[in-house]
Structure 1
């Protein structure tokens, strides 16, 4: 998961798109805490990670549906038609890549996307996002890492990312180094275990939230990572 976060630098906009400005020192400090063995960040408060609950609340996206579990043997015609539906153009397929679309091509399309219509904005939002998820998750869960105090922002509602859109970043926060963020993480005094408590859940998401506690592997082509809900939820004392 973290290796994918390193591939992006932020989410910029025109029109009504969300703007979640990333910051490399913060990203680097978080990556230092990531453990591949458990797929969690190891922090002074315990093991934590981005969960399906975070995805649903931060982006307002459904989190249950048909799995994507591996290679496709679809014809090149099918792949090209799906590419047209998602990206608005046909991919260039070589003779040895007829059953998949190369990630490098997707990145080039994403970076060159003219964000001048509602359709292009929607498509761009579908093509990027993991880094946004990480930064919003960190700001909501760990107030010491936020660029501004959370209480100065509009009240949180789904999608939570909306209230961080276009948020200011103080001069002192921008001046922080990796060492500064490392210190903030090592000596954090507050962690939000229930940042979404009391939010009004849209009707279309109610059924999806039932799977938030599921302990299962998340599959995406060649990458398999566990959703360790049982490891990262705050344990009740016996």
Structure 2
């Protein structure tokens, strides 16, 4: 069983900066509380993930977390400039950027390689006096970097955030023009691709997005929801363990069976009150079905909407061959890379495809998503049929989890 990151308490913010947060596009995700992880569910989803297609493979067909899901669950902007630019490995460059934007720079002891420790950002944020526009903007930038380093793009360390994102915050008025939602989705896809390797023992990335997506799409298999009228939709399950402790201990076999019985449903009025979703979110809906690369600096993943058209109400035919991302797939910054990823030979083609995203939006007459074409299902089951139903697989359950459950039960006895 893969180990999952433990949730961290959300960073609070001063109410005086609310309008500034709204202008950046990070307000809704800032409202999300702690959504505890369900390790067995995450593992069941990882089992279904195919890195070659960038989709989950279920008996009813392929599916995936989409740009629509990021917008609904996190409330992040999805239609905008690609999140990309320079990465510089020198501490001097990091120091200069912090001095430029914050007026103060961290010491080397406040950094981890090219990452700024979250503790340094929190300390700086708490020391700021919100007496003028400059201090307010610095405060909000610190808060955004903390969001990036935790709920949005957090890594396994959970202790720092790469400073490559900081230059994108330099022009405060332009922060909201970036597609932070597609970058977040790219990091989720990358985490799933890595976790699907046989030798991987831990998964990081925006697991709150993955869990809430599963709970939205599998409404019969969720912990007790709270505050159903809140937006973003992730807040339905904040602190769910307080009301549904038993759900925490459901096993991998339970979720395997649930995914075998999976049926697609769109976001519908009976489950999502349209009045709670702001117009600014729907303004980006034109590109939610685009078949495009997802870009975040060195990270390139593929939004393969042509393989799960039914999620958008379209007829599903036999898809094209899997998109080969070549050596860009799996690119990492473990070694020094002084590079502009927007113009790098390996990445510029994919960045340009994102720029032309309007040309890659799905266009067909919609139909009921529960009516797949017979030709598609015949092709799909012929190609993947031996690996679609996982309910009967024998798994080694988490013995430690059983013991914890017993301990909890004993504590509750009079």
**Common fold, TM-score beyond 0.5?**
yes
Which residue of 2 is the match for residue 128 of structure 1?
150
Equivalent residue in structure 1 for 2:274, among 192, 195, 199: 199
Which residue of 1 is the match for residue 412 of structure 2?
none
Matches within 5 A, 1:107-126: 108-109=117-118, 113=122, 123-126=145-148
User: Relative to structure 2, which stretch is displaced further, 174-183 or 118-127?
Assistant: 118-127
CA contact (8 A) 1:215 1:228 kept: yes
Larger radius of gyration between Structure 1 and Structure 2: 2
| 1:140-168 CA-partner distances (Å, limit 9, x unpaired) | 111243122x5xx4334531112222234
SS in 2 for 1:132: helix
Stretches of structure 1 lacking an aligned partner (at least 5 in a row): 94-99
Distance 1:73 1:181 in 2: 43
Which residue of 1 is the match for residue 157 of structure 2?
none
CA contact (8 A) 2:11 2:146 kept: no
TM-score w.r.t. structure 1 length?
A: 0.73
| 1:77-100 CA-partner distances (Å, limit 9, x unpaired) | 6543555759x853749xxxxxx9
Which residue of 1 is the match for residue 232 of structure 2?
159
| 1:19-67 CA-partner distances (Å, limit 9, x unpaired) | 1101211111110010001111112332111111111111111112221
Structure 1 199/12 Cα, relative in aligned 2: closer, same or farther at 3 Å? same
Stretches of structure 2 lacking an aligned partner (at least 5 in a row): 13-30, 127-138, 152-205, 316-366, 374-414
Which residue of 1 is the match for residue 38 of structure 2?
23
- Root mean square deviation, CA, Å: 3.8
CA contact (8 A) 1:51 1:212 kept: yes
Structure 1 90/204 Cα, relative in aligned 2: closer, same or farther at 3 Å? farther
Distance 2:5 2:304 in 1: 25
Matches within 5 A, 1:44-193: 44-69=59-84, 71-72=86-87, 79-80=94-95, 82-83=97-98, 85=101, 90=106, 92=108, 102=114, 105-106=115-116, 108-109=117-118, 113=122, 123-129=145-151, 130-148=206-224, 150=225, 153-167=226-240, 168-188=242-262, 190-193=263-266
User: Relative to structure 2, which stretch is displaced further, 203-212 or 13-22?
Assistant: 13-22
CA contact (8 A) 1:9 1:131 kept: no
Distance 2:285 2:96 in 1: 32
CA contact (8 A) 1:144 1:184 kept: no
Structure 1 160/187 Cα, relative in aligned 2: closer, same or farther at 3 Å? same
SS in 2 for 1:12: coil
Structure 1 195/43 Cα, relative in aligned 2: closer, same or farther at 3 Å? farther
Which residue of 2 is the match for residue 8 of structure 1?
5
SS in 2 for 1:25: helix
| 1:165-190 CA-partner distances (Å, limit 9, x unpaired) | 223452432221222222222234x5
Structure 1 193/17 Cα, relative in aligned 2: closer, same or farther at 3 Å? closer
Distance 1:67 1:14 in 2: 26
The list of structure 1 runs, each at least 4 consecutive aligned residues, that deviate by more than 4 angstroms after superposition, is: 14-17, 73-78, 81-86, 110-114, 116-123, 195-198
> Is 2:247 the counterpart of 1:231?
no
SS in 2 for 1:10: coil
> Is 2:284 the counterpart of 1:208?
yes
| 1:179-231 CA-partner distances (Å, limit 9, x unpaired) | 2222222234x543225765234233343222112111012222211112232
TM-score w.r.t. structure 2 length?
A: 0.45
SS in 1 for 2:274: coil
SS in 2 for 1:226: strand
